[in-house]
């Protein structure tokens, strides 16, 4: 067993850290306040190879492993979780799904520009009545001549307005239940495809979350991903890796808040000494550091499983569950350590606390992770 990072891993972590400090930190408070999508920053992330990190270089990616991805996600999320969710969706859900299950034509046409970050993608599973209960798809795509006719509504879609390519899950045969679901590549601008208004959110306010409406949208048959009926498995397999990305996002949010709280506790004085010298504060820091380290190990283990070609459904779900719950706890404590200053925007920790909340909800709520984990441990 070796807990050391390789030189390449350290280089990637440091590159992500520099990028976050130099490019994401300036303006992060204003982007949050004004719900402004980080357009320029996302473009630079693409140029640096952060949007197709694990994609084979022959398809325009950086050809890195999942451990590198966790390291980069943590660093970027420490500063700006709105930017890191763009990165997570593009890498884990869109690029990975297309590279693993797409046809060669789909990869050449869509994966290459997505991996290079020339365009970004969206993953569209959730619906008004199908969130956790993801098999209850109401969106339909029925075969007609040389295409499918797509109808329905998707909810809460990250990159909803800024994406160019959308992976849309839909029911193609109602009688077959989840075995009658398919995944399709849908291009922005296809007639009948409309984008709803941007959601006004508690956290990750810079990311753009939208409903998508499809009315008789013609999707060419060659845009179906995989065999007929593969769509639900496609979504589940893709989300298994996505959960490693969101676990790393939660880890980054927590470690960002912890670093700020640690620094502040050594500067702020009360009752004649630094607040870090009051045991109540020192013990909070001890708990936070321990929880973060535990989450980091779970994230790394899940990434290692993926890199080794092992199954990572369980380790990814454990990492996501623990890191999300931990991020909420740690960010609340970071605000507490800052006292009143933690309650105002300039100190960043209130934003990190708001951003932490979403990690318990998307890519499978904490309750859903417990379903995945308990089914696995009971089965084994």
Q: Which residues are catalytic?
A: 363
To ligand FAD, the closest distance from the beta carbon of 160 in angstroms equals 8
Site membership for ligand CAA, residue 96 (CB under 6 A): no
Helical H runs in 219-278? 231-267
Residues that contact ligand CAA, how many (by CB under 6 A): 23
To ligand CAA, the closest distance from the beta carbon of 281 in angstroms equals 34
Residues that bind ligand FAD (CB under 6 A): 89, 122-126, 131-133, 156-158, 201, 204, 209, 358, 361-365, 367-368
Q: Footprint of ligand CAA on residues 99-138 (CB under 6 A)?
A: 123, 125-126, 132, 134-135
Q: Which positions ≥6 away from 209 have C-beta within 8 Å?
A: 156, 157, 158, 160, 198, 199, 201
Site membership for ligand CAA, residue 162 (CB under 6 A): no
Q: Which two three-digit tokens encode residue 61?
A: 């990616």
* Residue 316 and residue 303 in contact, taking contact as beta carbons nearer than 8 Å: no
Out of ligand CAA, ligand FAD, none, which partner does residue 367 contact, by CB within 5 to 8 A per kind?
Answer: ligand FAD
Phi (first) and psi of residue 344, to 5 degrees: -110, 160
* Residue 230 and residue 59 in contact, taking contact as beta carbons nearer than 8 Å: no
* Residue 155 and residue 173 in contact, taking contact as beta carbons nearer than 8 Å: no
Site membership for ligand CAA, residue 10 (CB under 6 A): no
CA–CA dist 26, 319 (Å, integer): 30
CB neighbour class for 98 (10 Å; exposed up to 12, middle 13-18, buried from 19): buried
To ligand FAD, the closest distance from the beta carbon of 97 in angstroms equals 12
Q: Which two three-digit tokens encode residue 35?
A: 């719900």
To ligand FAD, the closest distance from the beta carbon of 93 in angstroms equals 7
Residue number, 344 or 371, with CB nearest to ligand FAD = 371
Q: Could you tell me which residues are beta bridge partners of residue 151? A: 140
Candidates 28-36, 73-81, 289-297, 365-373 — which segment interacts with ligand CAA by CB under 6 A? 365-373
Out of ligand CAA, ligand FAD, none, which partner does residue 157 contact, by CB within 5 to 8 A per kind?
Answer: ligand FAD
To ligand CAA, the closest distance from the beta carbon of 126 in angstroms equals 5
Distance of CA 68 to the CA centre of its chain: 15
Residues near ligand CAA (CB under 6 A) are: 85, 89, 123, 125-126, 132, 134-135, 158, 178, 232-233, 236-237, 239-240, 313, 362-364, 368, 371-372
């Amino acid at each position: 067993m070796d807990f050391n990072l390789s030189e390449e891993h350290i280089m990637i972590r440091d590159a992500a850290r520099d990028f976050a400090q130099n490019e994401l930190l300036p303006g992060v408070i204003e982007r949050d306040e004004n719900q402004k999508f980080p357009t320029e920053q996302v473009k630079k992330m693409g140029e640096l190879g952060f949007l197709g990190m694990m994609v084979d270089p022959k398809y325009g990616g950086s050809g890195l492993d999942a451990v590198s991805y966790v390291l980069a996600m943590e660093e970027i999320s420490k500063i700006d979780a709105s930017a890191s969710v763009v990165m997570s969706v593009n890498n884990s859900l869109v690029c990975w799904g297309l590279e693993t299950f797409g046809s060669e034509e789909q990869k050449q046409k869509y994966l290459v520009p997505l991996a290079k970050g020339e365009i970004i993608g969206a993953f569209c599973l959730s619906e008004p009545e199908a969130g956790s209960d993801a098999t209850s798809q109401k969106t339909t795509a029925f075969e007609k001549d040389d295409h499918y006719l797509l109808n329905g509504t998707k909810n809460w879609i990250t990159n909803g307005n800024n994406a160019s390519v959308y992976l849309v899950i839909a029911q193609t045969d109602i009688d077959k239940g989840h075995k009658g679901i398919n995944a399709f590549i849908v291009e922005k601008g296809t007639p009948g495809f409309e984008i709803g208004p941007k959601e006004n959110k508690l956290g990750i306010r810079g990311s753009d979350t939208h409903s998508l409406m499809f009315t008789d949208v013609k999707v060419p048959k060659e845009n179906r991903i995989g065999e007929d009926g593969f769509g639900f498995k496609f979504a589940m397999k893709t989300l298994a890796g996505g959960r490693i990305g969101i676990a790393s996002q939660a880890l980054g949010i927590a470690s960002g808040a912890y670093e700020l709280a640690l620094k502040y506790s050594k500067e702020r004085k009360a009752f004649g000494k630094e607040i870090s010298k009051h045991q109540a504060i020192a013990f909070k820091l001890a708990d936070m550091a321990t929880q973060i380290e535990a989450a980091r190990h779970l994230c790394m283990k899940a990434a290692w499983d993926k890199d080794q070609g092992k199954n990572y459904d369980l380790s990814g779900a454990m990492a996501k569950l623990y890191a999300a719950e931990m991020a909420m706890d740690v960010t609340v404590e970071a605000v507490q350590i800052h006292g009143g200053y933690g309650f105002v925007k300039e100190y960043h920790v209130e934003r990190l606390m708001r951003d932490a909340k979403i990690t318990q909800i998307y890519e499978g709520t904490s309750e859903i992770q417990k379903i995945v984990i308990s089914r696995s441990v009971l089965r084994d």
